[in-house]
Amino acid sequence: MNLFLDTANIEEIKKVKDLGLLDGITTNPSIISKAGRKFTEVIKEIAALVDGPVSAEVISSNYDGMIKEGVELSQIAENVVVKVPLTMEGLKAVNEFTNRGISTNVTLCFSANQALLAAKAGASFISPFLGRLDDIGHDGLELISEIRAMYDNYGYETQILAASIRHPIHFKEVALRGADCSTLPYSVFAQLFQHPLTDIGLQKFIEDSKSINW
């Protein structure tokens, strides 16, 4: 499974890249606004830093605006993926981007039907938001299984990019359910390394190693 970071924070991106574990980046308008920098500049810097796909989201919600912004974003670097909301106008734009050979990530997906429409429009990635579904008492993880089954039934190549991941159990479960990629906030990524038995075991090895003659 490909591991993406859901951030525009350059320090976080560098840390995960240095570990050799980074496959791509996702951003959204809330993440970009937190970065407090010019949108196109921050995307340019991230795209140069990361080898894999970098999702940058359009701001317009009408077709013409999305096409104009998406084309501009796609010209920043080859690995920029244009992120588009799951609306009628959005999927019309995805169709056009697909015709023009521009990669897309369809965001704000909360149902399997929405995911099927995005695949039909030719989306490169679909982003189901697990945590936000859980927040309103729905089963976010079940959505991943449904989309996997639906895409496999028809051979759609749209990659399932599990988003709105809130904790390590989400990460494990989306991998078990066949998501192609998972995008994590840095805090959740760091949690994946943690296990109390690892800490206890390492402490004991460090103690015992003091009597080893190298």
- Give yes or no for residue 189 binding ligand G3P (CB under 6 A): no
Q: Cα separation of 165 and 178, whole Å?
A: 15
Would you count residue 163 as binding ligand G3P (CB under 6 A)? Answer: yes
Distances (CA, A) of 138 to 37, 143, 182: 35, 9, 19
Look up 83 and say whether it is catalytic.
Answer: yes
Q: In terms of Cα–Cα distance, which of 133, 103, 134, 139 is closest to 26?
A: 103
**Which of these is catalytic: 15, 34, 68, 83?**
83
Asked if residue 164 binds ligand G3P (CB under 6 A), the reply is: yes
User: Would you give the binding string for ligand G3P spanning residues 23-52, x where CB under 6 A is met?
Assistant: ---x-x------------------------
Q: Which of 117, 98, 105 is nearest to 160 (CA)?
A: 105
d(CA 193, CA 187): 11
Q: Which is nearer to ligand G3P, 31 or 212 (CB)?
A: 31
Task: Pick from 15, 132, 138, 167 the residue near ligand G3P by CB under 6 A.
Answer: 132
Q: Does 103 bind ligand G3P (CB under 6 A)?
A: no
Q: Which amino acid would we find at residue 208? A: D
The catalytic site residues sit at 83
